[in-house]
Amino acid sequence: MKKTIYFMVFSIIGLSLIGCSKPSTIFYDFDCHSSIKSSDLHTILDAKNNFSLDIPNYWKTELYIDEYASIFTTADTTKQLTKTYLIKASLIDAKLNLNKASIQTIKTNLESKKATTVASVKQGTFQNKPALLILSKNKQNKLEKTVLHLYISVSEKHYFEIEIHCYGHKNVEKRLCEGIKYINSLNIKEI
Domain of 77, in residue numbers: 24-188
Of the two residues 5 and 89, the one the predictor is more confident about is: 89
Residue 90 lies in a domain: yes
Q: Does 19 fall in a domain? A: no
Stated pTM of the model:
0.84
Read off the CATH number of the domain in which 143 is found. 3.40.1000.10
Q: Is residue 17 part of a domain?
A: no
Q: What is the mean pLDDT of residues 133-148?
A: 91
Partners of 121 in the beta sheet? 134
Asked whether residue 179 is assigned to any structural domain, the reply reads: yes
Helix ranges (DSSP H) in the chain:
2-20, 100-111, 172-183
Distance CA 66, CA 71 (A): 9
pLDDT band at 37 (very low <50, low <70, confident <90, very high): low
Number of domains in the chain: 1
Mean pLDDT of 3-31: 49
Any domain includes 9:
no
pLDDT at 16: 33
